Amino acid sequence: MNTPVYFISDIHLKLSLDKDEKERRSKLYRLFDKILDTGGTCIFVGDLFDFYFEYPNIIPSSYFDFFDKAKMLREKGISLYFFAGNHDYWVGDHIKNHVMDKVYLNDDQIEVNGKKFYLTHGDGLLSWDHGYRLLKRVIRSKTFIWLFRWLHPTIGYRIARIISRSGEYNNHKEDFNEDVRIELQQIAKKHFENGFDYMITGHYHLGEMFLINEGKLAVLGDWFHRPSYAIFDGEDLELRLWENDV
């Protein structure tokens, strides 16, 4: 895997291309331009799309500009990896075979320059997420996917627009965020004790880095309020706010 390695999460590309959405995407595509300049690898750590369910032979037109950018990156030698999130788990052949170099449907690990990374989108990770973990098993089951595919795409995507509230609120209450920070650090500590150097997660929209003993935990931010990304230059991992870069 070529360095530098960029880690991005919770972009939530919307189905509606209004003015705000176009401005958000312009920020992301400026980061893509930077990646083209530096070379390397780009890893999307879940929720790249606000909703993605792939029907046979049907691709949402609002994502075409992203697909074009992804094609350009790959043609220039940038490898693209995708970890499915809770908004876009239902990828199919188009994403797997034409957009990304590799798709991960579950947590996984990679090794770059001798450094071990534990990568997870993070949904259902917290100990108190009992209800969500049950829901996650249902909506990712083959039966659910088969049944949902019988819905007309217009109906399926209309349901997604109604349910999604991505970007409407800046963050959770601070006491909730603090509970999340504590538990994620406990989880990361166990991975570091098992030989990992870094843990990277999305989902919680914090945009924060934690040094835990000799390891680093990166909790990536979203691309609504404070766009951020993590970058591994081959030696160390750093979290950057994109607004500071531009």
What pLDDT, in 10s, does the model give residues 118-145?
999 999 898 888 888 898 899 899 999 9
CATH number at residue 170: 3.60.21.10
Nearest to 108 by CA among 125, 83, 91: 83
Tell me the mean pLDDT per 10 residues along the chain, length 246.
96 91 93 96 96 88 94 97 94 93 96 97 89 88 92 87 66 79 96 97 94 95 90 96 71
The reply to whether omega before 153 is within 30° of 0 (cis) is no
Nearest to 121 by CA among 5, 12, 244, 2: 12
The reply to whether omega before 4 is within 30° of 0 (cis) is yes
Model pLDDT, residue 127: 86
Euclidean distance between CA atoms 4 and 90, whole angstroms = 29
Model pLDDT, residue 169: 54
Element (H, E) at 148: helix 142-149
Euclidean distance between CA atoms 236 and 43, whole angstroms = 16
Question: How many independent structural domains does the chain possess?
Answer: 1
Euclidean distance between CA atoms 88 and 99, whole angstroms = 14
Model pLDDT, residue 79: 97
Model pLDDT, residue 159: 85
Model pLDDT, residue 150: 92
Q: Diameter of the chain by CA atoms?
A: 51
Model pLDDT, residue 165: 67
* Cβ–Cβ under 8 Å, residues 161 and 16: yes
* Cβ–Cβ under 8 Å, residues 6 and 36: no
Average pLDDT along the chain: 91
Domain carrying residue 106: 5-245
Model pLDDT, residue 131: 87
* Cβ–Cβ under 8 Å, residues 87 and 109: no
CA atoms within 13 A on the CB side of 126: 17
SS3 state of residue 84: coil
Model pLDDT, residue 117: 98
